[in-house]
Chains A and B, each alone.
Chain A
Amino acid sequence: MAVKVSLKVNGKSVVAEVEERTLLVTVIREHLRLTGTHVGCDTAQCGACTVSMNGRAVKSCSMLAMQAEGTEVMTIEGVAHADGTLHPMQAAFKEHHGLQCGFCTPGMVINAIDFAKHHPDPSEQEIREALEGNLCRCTGYHNIVKAIGAGARAMAASK
């Protein structure tokens, strides 16, 4: 059996015909071919699959596509400006070497943007707590924490 799921992804309306058991991440990666959203653990631990749903960071491997019915989803592909200018959070990750292999980065950036909206000037402790659901195998987190602090302040300044 198939169901129809209708949502907005990066500002565009999308209707996908999927099996009931299809995960949101599968729609994003396989139906829409937006492969910037990664699958690391597939068990709700690592946060590589994090996307923004109605402005909130969620793990797209841990929900059915149908749970996103009628919502607005933003993936890493929708973060930069149309002309390619990086979002302040992306620019901060670049500036502060907040990535090495880059596998965790899309999830980190999406979660960081949501976090920064509520924490315009976060402390290191707040940033580390906000990263509980995002694992990185490369960086040791230090530069990610620096990048998110700088990105949050840049976002607040550009408002």
Chain B
Amino acid sequence: MHAFKYHRPSSVKAAAALAKGEAKLLAGGQTLVQTMKLRLASPSDIIDLGALQDLAGIQSDGKTVTIGAMTRHADVAHSAEVKKTIPALAALAGMIGDRQVRAMGTIGGSLANNDPAADYPAAVLGMGATVITNKRKLSPDEFFKGMFTTALAADEIITAVSFPAPKRAAYIKFKNPASRFAIVGVFVADFGSSVRVAVTGAGPVVFRQAEMEKALAAKFAPESVANIKVKQDGLNSDLHASAEYRAHLVTVMAKRAVEAALK
């Protein structure tokens, strides 16, 4: 790892003031520290958000669940509030990586990183959550820009994410057995008047599946999606799975997610 200057600011404002040029924010470090060890990132300064207690925590009023950016995956997975209001979100957090990764990794870090195979982006897009930063509020369509790319400016810090509670929802992923990242993961959320289907792992960035959303809005049942064929154009193809296989998995995972949401 290359040398850097270390900062541990005590306010979001102070952190944002330090975040310029080649500086990088540090949340749980579960992605960034290994990236730096491999010298794939060599920031001049590390701004550790670890002392910002206000950024960690979960609030719920029964209709909306708001999760602070520094909230660890384990805390979301075990939260009684999240389990009650959006059980699918607690379950998703409990599927990320392994126990040790979940003890450190944060929702803010996961979203800022926007790995094409990460789990949280499926929940954010699948529920139309709002990403709140020190500067503005972003819809998922505004926030997710492309592979490992978001709308965040260099001095912009995610402070929280606000999820509207669906009537019912579920997330199912076909995981890479080594890393547990999603080869394909599908989040299905039924809001009564509308249904959202978000797919992670399959493409360069999380996306919605309009045909499935329409079919599920007409009838929220597994058979509504079972015969929808997803096109493989533009999907990822790598040593883990071909685009053709991923396209097939989207339908299978969507069907299982609807089944799980109905349980």
A residues apposed to B, CB below 8 Å: 1, 3, 19-21, 23, 42-45, 47, 50, 53, 56-59, 62-64, 66-67, 69, 111, 114-115, 130, 132-134
Give the interface segment out of B99-107, B116-124, B144-152: B99-107
Answer yes or no: B136 CB below 8 A from chain A CBs.
no
Q: How far is the CB of B129 from chain A (nearest CB, A)?
A: 26
Are B8 and A133 touching (Cβ within 8 A)?
no
- Contact call A3/B6, Cβ cutoff below 8 A: yes
Q: Contact check, A21 vs B180: say whether CB atoms are below 8 A apart.
A: no
Residue numbers in A under 8 Å from B26 (CB-CB): 64, 67
Whether B99 contacts A115 by the Cβ 8 Å rule is: yes
16 A-B residue pairs with CB within 8 Å: A20-B3, A20-B4, A20-B5, A21-B2, A42-B37, A43-B34, A43-B37, A44-B101, A58-B100, A62-B29, A63-B29, A64-B26, A66-B6, A69-B50, A133-B99, A133-B100
Residue of A whose beta carbon sits closest to that of B27 = A67
Those of B8-46 within 8 Å (CB) of chain A: 8, 26, 28-30, 33-34, 36-37, 46
Q: How far is the CB of B19 from chain A (nearest CB, A)?
A: 17
CB distance from A141 to the nearest CB of B (A): 14
Residues of A contacting B156 with CB < 8 Å? none
Q: Determine the interface band of chain B, counting residues with CB < 8 A from chain A.
A: 20 to 34
The reply on B97 being an interface residue by CB < 8 A is: yes
- CA gap between A42 and B1 in the complex, in Å: 12
A19 to B1, CA, bound (A): 11
A102 smallest CB distance to B (angstroms): 19
Given contacts A47-B98, A67-B29, contact A57 B103 (CB under 8 A): yes
Contact of B99 among A20, A42, A114 (CB under 8 A): A114
User: Given contacts A44-B30, A67-B50, is CB(A21)–CB(B98) below 8 Å?
Assistant: no
CA distance in complex: A1, B67 (Å): 36
Distance in angstroms from A112 CB to nearest chain B CB is 10
Q: Nearest Cβ in chain B — how far from A13, in angstroms?
A: 19
- What is the CA–CA distance of A53 and B28 in the complex, to the nearest angstrom? 13
Question: Is B81 among interface residues, defined by CB-CB distance under 8 A?
Answer: no
Instruction: Give A44 to B101 CA distance when docked, in angstroms.
Output: 8
B48 interface residue per 8 A CB criterion: yes
Partner of B34, one of A20, A62, A111: A62
In the complex, B170 has a CB within 8 A of chain A = no
Q: In the complex the two chains form, what is the Cα distance from A56 to B97 in whole Å?
A: 15
Q: How far is the CA of A19 from the CA of B2 in the complex (A)?
A: 11
In contact, B99 and A132 (Cβ under 8 angstroms): yes
Shortest Cβ distance from residue A36 to the other chain B in the assembled complex, whole angstroms: 17
Nearest residue in A to B50 (C-beta to C-beta)? A67
Q: Please pick, from B2, B3, B29, B99, the residue contacting A64 in the complex, using a CB distance under 8 A.
A: B29
- Shortest Cβ distance from residue A84 to the other chain B in the assembled complex, whole angstroms: 28
- Check if B99 sits within 8 Å of A62, measured CB to CB: no
